[in-house]
Structure 1
Amino acid sequence: MSYPGYPPTGYPPFPGYPPAGQESSFSSPVPPGQGFGAPPGGAGFSGYPQPPSQSYGGGPAQVPVPGGFPGGQIPSQYPGGQPQYPSQINTESFSSYPAFSPVSLDCSSEPAAMTQGTQGTIRPAANFDAMRDAEILRKAMKGFGTDEQAIVDVVASRSNDQRQKIKSAFKTMYGKDLIKDLKSELSGNMEELILALFMPPTYYDAWSLRHAMQGVGTQERVLIEILCTRTNQEIREIVRCYESEFGRDLEKDIRSDTSGHFERLLVSMCQGNRDENQSVNHQMAQDDAQRLYQAGEGRLGTDESCFNMILATRSFPQLKATMEAYSRMANRDLLSSVCREFSGSVESGLKTILQCAQNRPAFFAERLYYSMKGAGTDDSTLVRIVVTRSEIDLVQIKQVFTQMYQKTLATMIASDTSGDYRKLLLAIVGQ
């Protein structure tokens, strides 16, 4: 079930965004064939110190930095124009969201990964009072000028579920749309960040996928980042939300916007059928490593379907064991072989799966680094990753970011952004 009149005709993108004087700098996806995976200077991750592994159970964890991430020197500024991004969401529907029948998906529900005691920088606020927070936001926007700091203080210290309750309380108390009021007071990157924070997680992923395939061109990196990193449950909820909210079939949109082996990989991903058994079958790892070698390095040409089958179906722990078996057998890491055998978007997709199997926080840390490296900032990627990982594993991402790049994530954000946008990002990241 979806909302009447939602999304609005032509959504997204919309003309006239960003507002005059609020343009932000975006960079296009990494050029085909170059991929990403190299720290500054072109060195692989193996060039970084390897701290001992520790449990994430309590206190600061030392996240092991993966070795062998291949890739050449990434240019300081990706070529290409500025991709469009949407604004002016139908706030009448958005503010009352969700409104689903009992048999339909509740896109506002938190993904399973958010409820398993993981290490996010944002936790549900203690002694939460939605009506009190709604009143604070109302006062921050009432009259001449806006108290942006008050907005930051509330929004950055509440979980997504609590933000949904604040939206509902605001409408109940004042008969007004909180999102519409916020949009009238904010602009540019700050507006985009606030909107992302108030979107329920499943909806935000579905919205990001829809935007990535809307209009001229396709933002392949967004498709890869979401579909190749989420759990089965998250993907299935995204697929259902995509259909209920946008009236479209995600798989069909992928087929119409991509092609070849990349299309097949994404179609495999959006089934949400990866094995999620956490135990490892070492004999299968040996067998899969041999099959992958014979499908790539061990033959003339590449059997792409073999790579697709194994990387799309095996659990992440199983793939990690396969990568280790491959290195022992072939005297070359599997990521290097993928770079030699593939190019373009399918290479990036396969590498993302392997990177997540080896060290998921390292994958997101790398994406954050290159969203800010060089001239200009890919604000869309920066916002999306900070928001989507803020209640899952942003603590680990921050730790591995420091190990990989010898600077903190907060330091890089502070030097690359400004104003209230910077304040809110830093509040979410937690310094």
Structure 2
Amino acid sequence: MNPWQQGQGYPQQQYLHNIGFSNTAPQSFGNPLPMPGFPTMGYPAPQPGGGPGYPQVSQGYPQQSSGYPTSQGYPNTAQGYPSQGSQGYPAQGGYPQAPEGYPPAQGGYPQQAQSGYPHGNAQAGYPQTNQYQGYPQHNQSQSHSQQAYSVSSVPETAQTKPTVVPANPFDPREDAAVLRKAMKGFGTDEKSIIHVLSRRTNEQRLRIAFEFKTLYGKDLVSDLKSETSGKFEDLLVALMTPLPQFYAKELHDAIAGIGTDEDVLIEVMCTMSNHEINVIKQAYTAMYGTLLEDDLRGDTSGNFKRLMTSLSMGNRSEDFHVDQEKAREDARSLLQAGELRLGTDESVFNAVLCSRSFPQLKAIFNEYQFLTGHDIDDAIKAEFSGDLEKALRAIVKIVRNKPLFFAERLHKSMKGLGTNDRQLIRVMVTRSEIDLGDISDMFQTKYGETLQSWIEGDCSGHYKKCLLGLLGLY
């Protein structure tokens, strides 16, 4: 039974709205406002002396003996984040005032509950997930262009469907004991391992690892690696890796060695929020001693390098409000930089697609269709080629329908001969706490077959069962 189906045995969940198709970051990316006294896990410590573009942060989070870096290095407000008040809410001027689009005060900003989780009676001491983008979309009058274009658009009030939600109640010591029993002695109880790890969030898995080392003096990841093998081992290690470090490793491996996997760069850099990009950058520097921006620039070239550099700044507007007049101006600028001139001014496309908010970009694309009578995706295909074309089209697709983008990534990883297991694992693990339910629905809508059937036909053994566990189907 899938968690989002709210069947028997699952507590009733209330999922917040998905604004501007920029889905909420998983809890392991943390709250930009650290909670005093709480040792959040999974964040790298800043390098001695700091690096260019990395703010100095106060020390004060205890070092975790589990081996994961401590949670330090949050971007300060100078990098574009709204200042935080004493209660953890955005400052009064940080978000646009839209009385007709926001719910009454009692249902607006989520309360910073003692329990730590948005739902249920979770144990005290866990942090509240930061879900700024969980507020209803600002109501705006439909323009002529919005009426003209409606293909592949996610409804404004669409709700995300995570397939992995915080376990409630949650006892990390009990889970650690279950895992210890599953790996102790001769043989391994893979079913128990899958049932525990595929039904906990990334933050909860790190809690279990912390308690495992506390109770038994052994590293949980090392034990899992010694008891499993192959793709099943790879999947378990991915599940046990803090998300910022997981993304940092995927990016590093994509640009290390001979050749570059541009598809990984596009998938990660084009889909992350500002906060996620900045946390990933700090994890990358802590792990590899270099700046992500420098490595991206050193391994890419031309206009694709400029696009990756712009995205690595993590400085996209995250304003909920849509300015229709500016959308028309940007649409005209894109038209003049592309179809109405000989050659293409790539810098205009770079500036607009890397700096405007997702809701604003959607309005720009609608205006472009009204001006030209055809889709901006067709214009990009005609004006660009290679990796830059793929990246720009990916941004367009993510703005309109992010679940469809990831559904296509999953389909590509399994179609034809062989399986791109690394891509399959990356999407399944990273999207399970955000919108894997939406991705599964979109997969079936586009390809006429369920994601479950493709996984069952393309994978085998405990690897297959664990992937189905992330879908809530094992």
TM range (shorter): 0.7 to 0.9
Identity %: 47
Corresponding residue for residue 393 of structure 1:
435
C-alpha separation between the residues in 2 aligned to 1:340 and 1:430?
Answer: 42
Q: Report the CA distance between 1:192 and its aligned residue.
A: 0.9
Q: Report the CA distance between 1:295 and its aligned residue.
A: 0.9
Indicate if the aligned counterparts of 1:285 and 1:325 stay in contact, CA closer than 8 A: yes
Q: Report the CA distance between 1:231 and its aligned residue.
A: 0.5
Question: Which letter does structure 2 place at the counterpart of 1:342?
Answer: F
Question: Which letter does structure 1 place at the counterpart of 2:223?
Answer: D
C-alpha separation between the residues in 2 aligned to 1:98 and 1:148?
Answer: 25
Question: Which letter does structure 2 place at the counterpart of 1:340?
Answer: A
Distance 1:212 1:387, change over 3 A: same
TM-score of the superposed pair, with normalisation by structure 1: 0.75
* Partner deviation per Cα, 1:257-285 (whole Å, 9 max, x = no partner): 00100000000001000011111111111
Question: Which letter does structure 2 place at the counterpart of 1:100?
Answer: T
- Secondary structure at the counterpart of residue 380 of structure 2: helix
Unpaired runs of at least 5, structure 1? 1-56, 62-92
Distance 1:390 1:276, change over 3 A: same
* Partner deviation per Cα, 1:69-92 (whole Å, 9 max, x = no partner): xxxxxxxxxxxxxxxxxxxxxxxx
* Partner deviation per Cα, 1:147-189 (whole Å, 9 max, x = no partner): 1111101001111111001101111111111111100111111
Indicate if the aligned counterparts of 2:73 and 2:279 stay in contact, CA closer than 8 A: no
- Confirm whether residue 224 of structure 1 aligns to residue 266 of structure 2: yes
Q: Report the CA distance between 1:216 and its aligned residue.
A: 1.3
Of 152, 172, 191 in structure 1, the residue corresponding to residue 214 of structure 2 is 172
Distance 1:271 1:151, change over 3 A: same
Distance 1:359 1:101, change over 3 A: closer
- Secondary structure at the counterpart of residue 259 of structure 2: coil
Of 237, 243, 253 in structure 1, the residue corresponding to residue 279 of structure 2 is 237
Indicate if the aligned counterparts of 1:95 and 1:177 stay in contact, CA closer than 8 A: no
Corresponding residue for residue 347 of structure 1:
389
Distance 1:124 1:287, change over 3 A: same
- Confirm whether residue 403 of structure 1 aligns to residue 457 of structure 2: no
* Partner deviation per Cα, 1:296-331 (whole Å, 9 max, x = no partner): 111111110010000001111111111111111111
Q: Report the CA distance between 1:405 and its aligned residue.
A: 1.1
Indicate if the aligned counterparts of 2:160 and 2:438 stay in contact, CA closer than 8 A: no
C-alpha separation between the residues in 2 aligned to 1:378 and 1:95?
Answer: 34
Corresponding residue for residue 297 of structure 1:
339
Of 255, 273, 280 in structure 1, the residue corresponding to residue 315 of structure 2 is 273
Indicate if the aligned counterparts of 1:119 and 1:395 stay in contact, CA closer than 8 A: yes
Q: Report the CA distance between 1:99 and its aligned residue.
A: 3.5
Q: Report the CA distance between 1:111 and its aligned residue.
A: 8.0
Corresponding residue for residue 381 of structure 1:
423
| Larger mean Cα displacement after TM superposition, 278-287 or 301-310 | 278-287
Q: Which runs of 4+ in 1 moved over 3 A?
A: 101-105, 109-118
Distance 1:241 1:112, change over 3 A: farther
- Confirm whether residue 284 of structure 1 aligns to residue 254 of structure 2: no
C-alpha separation between the residues in 2 aligned to 1:377 and 1:99?
Answer: 32
Of 345, 348, 360 in structure 2, the residue corresponding to residue 306 of structure 1 is 348
- The structure with more helix, counted as a fraction of residues: 1
Of 283, 290, 307 in structure 2, the residue corresponding to residue 248 of structure 1 is 290
C-alpha separation between the residues in 2 aligned to 1:371 and 1:102?
Answer: 35
C-alpha separation between the residues in 1 aligned to 2:299 and 2:425?
Answer: 24
C-alpha separation between the residues in 1 aligned to 2:187 and 2:357?
Answer: 52
Indicate if the aligned counterparts of 1:111 and 1:202 stay in contact, CA closer than 8 A: no
Corresponding residue for residue 31 of structure 1:
none
Corresponding residue for residue 67 of structure 2:
97
- Confirm whether residue 161 of structure 1 aligns to residue 203 of structure 2: yes
Corresponding residue for residue 247 of structure 2:
205
Indicate if the aligned counterparts of 1:110 and 1:201 stay in contact, CA closer than 8 A: no
Q: Report the CA distance between 1:222 and its aligned residue.
A: 0.7
Aligned-pair Cα RMSD in Å: 2.4
Of 148, 151, 164 in structure 2, the residue corresponding to residue 122 of structure 1 is 164
C-alpha separation between the residues in 2 aligned to 1:157 and 1:215?
Answer: 35
C-alpha separation between the residues in 1 aligned to 2:258 and 2:289?
Answer: 20
Indicate if the aligned counterparts of 1:111 and 1:201 stay in contact, CA closer than 8 A: no
- Confirm whether residue 418 of structure 1 aligns to residue 460 of structure 2: yes
Question: Which letter does structure 2 place at the counterpart of 1:301?
Answer: G
Q: Report the CA distance between 1:124 and its aligned residue.
A: 0.8
C-alpha separation between the residues in 1 aligned to 2:225 and 2:354?
Answer: 40
Distance 1:236 1:131, change over 3 A: same
Question: Which letter does structure 2 place at the counterpart of 1:127?
Answer: P
Indicate if the aligned counterparts of 1:110 and 1:161 stay in contact, CA closer than 8 A: no
Q: Report the CA distance between 1:245 and its aligned residue.
A: 2.2
* Partner deviation per Cα, 1:99-147 (whole Å, 9 max, x = no partner): 4375678xxx998569959531001111211111111111111112111
* Partner deviation per Cα, 1:15-41 (whole Å, 9 max, x = no partner): xxxxxxxxxxxxxxxxxxxxxxxxxxx
C-alpha separation between the residues in 2 aligned to 1:256 and 1:199?
Answer: 27
Question: Which letter does structure 1 place at the counterpart of 2:273?
Answer: T
* Partner deviation per Cα, 1:381-419 (whole Å, 9 max, x = no partner): 110001000101111111111111111111111111100
- Secondary structure at the counterpart of residue 96 of structure 1: coil
Distance 1:103 1:251, change over 3 A: closer
C-alpha separation between the residues in 2 aligned to 1:155 and 1:201?
Answer: 15
Q: Report the CA distance between 1:430 and its aligned residue.
A: 2.2
Distance 1:354 1:294, change over 3 A: same
Unpaired runs of at least 5, structure 2? 1-12, 18-62, 76-126, 135-158
Question: Which letter does structure 2 place at the counterpart of 1:194?
Answer: L
C-alpha separation between the residues in 2 aligned to 1:404 and 1:149?
Answer: 32
Corresponding residue for residue 264 of structure 1:
306
Question: Which letter does structure 2 place at the counterpart of 1:98?
Answer: Y
Indicate if the aligned counterparts of 2:182 and 2:189 stay in contact, CA closer than 8 A: yes
- Confirm whether residue 140 of structure 1 aligns to residue 182 of structure 2: yes
- Secondary structure at the counterpart of residue 264 of structure 1: helix
Corresponding residue for residue 112 of structure 2:
none
Question: Which letter does structure 2 place at the counterpart of 1:167?
Answer: A
Q: Report the CA distance between 1:207 and its aligned residue.
A: 1.4
